[in-house]
Amino acid sequence: MHLKVNGKEVFTNAKTLSGLILELEIPTKGVALAVDNEIVSNREWNTFELKQGADIVVISATRGG
């Protein structure tokens, strides 16, 4: 299936957000995911089903001051 991840076209065989995270080797600490402009709780990643053409944004926490 074709998706967009942070603005880049990606092909994946993953069916869920957790599968996509594993496939793309996205770190899970300090990360939030939004699908089609809606934040998805990390408790839902295992069951959140991906759909063709979904627009996914990976948001990483950074330290600073």
pLDDT per residue as tens digits for the range 11-61 = 999 999 999 999 999 988 999 999 999 999 999 999 999 999 999 999 988
Give the domain CATH number at 7.
Answer: 3.10.20.30
pLDDT per residue as tens digits for the range 20-34 = 999 999 988 999 999
In degrees, rounded to 5, the angle at the alpha carbon of residue 34 between the alpha carbons of residues 28 and 38 is 145
- 16 is a domain residue: yes
- 54 is a domain residue: yes
- 65 is a domain residue: no
The residue range of the domain holding 8 is: 2-60
Centre a 10 Å sphere on the Cβ of residue 3 and count the other Cβ atoms it contains. Answer: 19
Question: What's the total number of domains in the chain?
Answer: 1
- What's the predicted TM-score (pTM) here? 0.88
